Structure 1
Amino acid sequence: MDSGLAKRAVRGYGQPIMDTADLRIALFSGNYNYVRDGANQALNRLAGYLLDQGAAVRIYSPTVPKPAFEPTGDLIGVRALPIPGRGEYRMPLWLPRKVRQDLKAFAPNVVHVSSPDPVSHEAVTWARKHELPVLASVHTRFETYFRYYNMAWAEPLMEAFLRRFYRRCDALVAPSESMAQVLREQRMNYDITIWSRGVDREVFNPGVRSLDWRRSHGIGDDEIAIGFLGRLVMEKGLDVFSDSIDALRRRGVPHKVLVIGEGPAREWFESRLPGAAFVGFQAGADLGRAVASMDVLFNPSVTETFGNVTLEAMACALPVVAAAATGSESLVEDHVSGRLIRPGAVHQFAEALRGYVESAELRDRHGAAGERRALDFSWDRINRAVADTYLRLVRRKPGRS
C-alpha cells in the first residue's frame, strides 16, 4: 500500500482530509519506561512511529530517577506509589492540577489509555467531558493474576471492574485475535481491532546463535537447551515451568535449562531448577543472541495477550511449547511450528518437550515453520493500524473545537 494512502483518512464528505500528521495523542501509561517489559516497549515503538509520521504525542506516566530506558517522546510524570508486594511497579493515583493544565495546553484530539489504573480512569472522564475519542490498548490479562496468588475468588470482581473501564472507551485494540475474542466474550467493548506486535529481524534471527556464548554459561554443544524468557514473576507460569522440568527429569530425558530474565521470583525459581543457567536480564543484540542460543522455548504463561517472547523465539527458528491460551494460540500452529498444550497440564508439557529434545529433525522442521510465520510481523505495518484506528475514531467523534 502507498505510504501516503496508508496514513490518510477522510473525516467526512465535504470535510478536509485528515492524516496521521494531524493527530495529537495524549497517551496514558502505568509504566512507560521505568521497568522494561513487552507492553511499554510496544508503546515506545508506537510513539516513535507516530512522531516519525509527524503526529504530536505526549505521554503521561509515573517516572523514577533511574528508568530502565530513555522514553520516546515527551514524558510528563504523574504521581504514583509502589504497588504492595510488587515494589518495582508503581500505581498512578491521580491527575494533579499541573498535569491537567499541561493536558489542556497540549490540546489532544484523541486520548489513548493503556492500563486500567486510577489516572487512566480520570483521563477517560476528562476526554468524555471534552467529547474526545478514547482508545484503550489491552496488554495483559490482569484478571488472571489472582490465580497465582491464591486469590482466584477475586477474578470475577476484577473482570467486572475491567468491563466498567473498557466500556467507557470508544474502542479497544488487542494484540492478537485470540485476545480480541476473549474481550468480546467478556463483553468488554463492541469495537475491538488488532494491534499486533512486531519483531526486529536484525536482532532476532537464527544467524546470531553462538556456541561460544552457550559454553560460557555451561551449556555443551550437544546439550539441548530448553529456554524460559521473561520477567521472573509467578504469573508467568514459573510453577508450571519448573514442575514440567521435574517431570521431564523423572523421565530420564537429558537437557539443560536456560533462563533469560530477572524479577522478584528469581530466588524461588533458582531453587526449583538446580543446574539451570540463569543469565539475567538481556537486551538488544545480547538478547537476540541468548534467544537464538536456545533449542526450544517453553512458555507456559496464560497471562499474555500476545506473547512477544514467543514471536522472538519463532524469529530465531526455534520451536515453541506454549500454553494453549491467548497470544500463543494466534502465533503457534500446533504440530507445525510448536505445541499448544492445555494450561497447567504438566505431564503433557513434559512429553511435548521430550519430543523436541529427542528429535533434531522435529526441532529443525518446526523451527523453520515458526521463522516463516514471524516474517508476517512488520512494526511499521502494525503501528500504522493503530494510527488508522485513531483517525477513524476522530472522524466518528471529532470533539470540541
Structure 2
Amino acid sequence: MSDRGPLKILQVSDAYYPFPGGVSEHMHYLSVNLRKRGHRVTILTADYGDRGAEEDRDVVRIGRVRILPPLKAFNMTQLTVTFEPGLHLKVRDFLRRNEFDVIHTHGPLAPNLPHLALHYSRSANVATFHTAFVGFNWHRIGKFFFSGDSRKIDCFIGVSEVALDVLRGHYRGAMRVVPNGIDTGRFSPSVEPEPDVLRLPGIKILYVGRMEPRKGFPYLLRAFELLSSRYDLQLLAVGSGVEEKRYREMVPGPLRGRVHFLGFVPPEWLPRIYRSADIFTSPAVGGETFGIVLLEAMASALPVVASDIPGYRAVLAEGEEGLFADVADSAHYASRLEVLIKNMEMRKRMGEAGRRKALRYSWEEIAAEVEKIYLEILEQR
C-alpha cells in the first residue's frame, strides 16, 4: 500500500469476462494485484448476458454488449461495443454516485464505456492502449471527435513501444510503457499436463488464439501440411471465433486426424494444454502490440515460433526463446518449425530461456509499476 493509504480505482473496458482475450486478462490480473497491494478496485464493463458461474463482487455492468465481426478498420479483430438507450446517463449517474481517485480506461477513445467514463470523469485519468491500428487511422478519427476528452488523460500507457509509437503521432502528454503481465504461477513448468493430449503420438505443435483473420491460422495449416508428410506431428488449435467453421473445412482429409480443434478452453485448463505441447506457434499477421500468448508459452517453458512482427519482437528474442518466421511463405514457416521439431535439446534450452524471461513480467511487478504511475499523477494534481 502507498503512503497515501488505499486508493479507490475504477478500471473500465467493454471487453471483460466472459469475453476471452488479452484485454480481459489484463484487466482481471491488474485488478487482482492492485487489491493485493491494498487498493480498492472496481471494474466497470458491459453485460454479456451469461456471466459464468462466478462473478466478481466488484464488477459493475452497465449496458448490453454487441460483438462486431472482424473489420479491416479494427485490425480484422472482433470488436466489443456497448449499446443501450441512455447509456451515457447511466455512466454519468454511476460516476456521480461513486468517487474514485483514479479512473483507468482501456481503449478510451472508442465511443462506448471507456470514452463515456473519461468524458464524465472528475478523477485522475490513466489510459492504456492495447492495440496499434495499422493501415487505418483510427486515432485521427478518435482525436477529431474526442479531442477534448483526450486532453483529460494524465498518463497514456502503451503495452509496448509499438503502441506508444502510434500514440506519439496523435497525442501530447505523459507516456509510459507498461507491458502486459503473466501469472507465472498459473503458467508454469510445474503444471501437470493434460493426459488426453499427452497421449497423442508424435510432436505436438500448439496454437492459442481467436479464429479470426489477423491471427493467421491458415498460414499455420499450410506449413503443417508441408511438414506432416515427413514427421509424426499433431496440431492443437485452442480458440474459437467467426472463422472457426471455415478453418475446420480447410483441413485436408488426410490430416483431419492430426489437426485437433479444441475450441474455447476454460482458463483453468489452458495451462495444462501448454504443458502438454512441445512447440508453441503464433502466426499473427499484424496489429499485435504485445504477445500475451507468447508470454504464456514462455512461462510454461515452451519454445516459440512466431511471425516476425514488431509487437512480437517486444517479447521474443531470435535464437534465445524462439524463432521468427515469414509466415506468409509456407516453406520458410515450415523450415523454422522444422528446426525445433528436429532438435529436442534446442527446444529444452529455448523453453528454459523463455521461462526466465517470463518471470520478469509477473503481475506483481506490473501492478507495482501501475501503482507508481497513479501516485505520480495524483501528486501532480
Q: Give your verdict on TM over 0.5.
A: yes
2:234 to 256, 260, 281: 256
Change (3 A) 1:255 1:114: same
1:137 to 120, 124, 128: 128
Report Cα offsets for 1:238-263 as digits up to 9, x if no partner: 2332233344447x444221112222
1:158 maps to: 138
C-alpha distance in 1 between matches for 2:13 and 2:364: 21
2:81 to 80, 91, 97: 91
- Of stretches 338-347 and 287-296 in structure 1, the one that deviates more from structure 2 is 338-347
1:29 CA displacement: 0.8
8 Å contact kept, 1:34–1:69: no
- Of stretches 159-168 and 364-373 in structure 1, the one that deviates more from structure 2 is 159-168
8 Å contact kept, 2:299–2:359: yes
Identity between Structure 1 and Structure 2 (%)? 25
8 Å contact kept, 2:214–2:287: yes
SS of the residue aligned with 1:30?
coil
Matches within 5 A, 1:258-297: 258-273=236-251, 274=256, 275-297=258-280
1:191 maps to: 174
Matches within 5 A, 1:296-335: 296-301=279-284, 302-335=286-319
1:369 CA displacement: 1.3
2:164 maps to: 180
Instruction: Tell me the amino acid that sits aligned with residue 259 of structure 1.
Output: A
2:117 to 111, 120, 123: 123
SS of the residue aligned with 2:224?
helix
8 Å contact kept, 1:322–1:328: yes
1:75 to 32, 50, 59: 59
1:61 aligns with 2:45: yes
8 Å contact kept, 2:210–2:240: yes
SS of the residue aligned with 1:303?
coil
Instruction: Tell me the amino acid that sits aligned with residue 260 of structure 1.
Output: V
SS of the residue aligned with 1:348?
helix
C-alpha distance in 2 between matches for 1:345 and 1:68: 41
Report Cα offsets for 1:178-210 as digits up to 9, x if no partner: 4334543x4445422232233333332223353
C-alpha distance in 1 between matches for 2:15 and 2:139: 21
C-alpha distance in 1 between matches for 2:55 and 2:309: 31
Change (3 A) 1:55 1:201: closer
1:229 CA displacement: 0.7
User: What root-mean-square deviation, in Å, do the aligned CA atoms of Structure 1 and Structure 2 show?
Assistant: 2.7
Report Cα offsets for 1:90-120 as digits up to 9, x if no partner: 4124634343222112122322111232132
SS of the residue aligned with 2:51?
coil
8 Å contact kept, 1:231–1:262: yes
Matches within 5 A, 1:203-282: 203-208=186-191, 210=193, 212-216=195-199, 219-220=200-201, 223-249=202-228, 252-273=230-251, 274=256, 275-282=258-265
1:339 CA displacement: 0.9
Report Cα offsets for 1:331-355 as digits up to 9, x if no partner: 2110111012346344322211111
C-alpha distance in 2 between matches for 1:75 and 1:257: 37
1:81 CA displacement: 4.8
Change (3 A) 1:111 1:315: same
2:12 maps to: 28
Structure 1: segments with no counterpart, 5+ residues: 9-17, 145-154
8 Å contact kept, 2:12–2:45: yes
Instruction: Tell me the amino acid that sits aligned with residue 111 of structure 1.
Output: I
C-alpha distance in 2 between matches for 1:372 and 1:49: 21
SS of the residue aligned with 1:387?
helix
C-alpha distance in 2 between matches for 1:384 and 1:70: 27
Instruction: Tell me the amino acid that sits aligned with residue 280 of structure 1.
Output: G
8 Å contact kept, 1:175–1:305: yes
C-alpha distance in 2 between matches for 1:84 and 1:163: 22
1:105 aligns with 2:97: yes
SS of the residue aligned with 2:360?
coil
C-alpha distance in 1 between matches for 2:161 and 2:110: 24
8 Å contact kept, 2:298–2:355: yes
Tell me the matched-pair count: 361
Structure 2: segments with no counterpart, 5+ residues: 71-76
SS of the residue aligned with 1:134?
strand
SS of the residue aligned with 1:327?
helix
8 Å contact kept, 1:38–1:308: yes
Instruction: Tell me the amino acid that sits aligned with residue 338 of structure 1.
Output: G
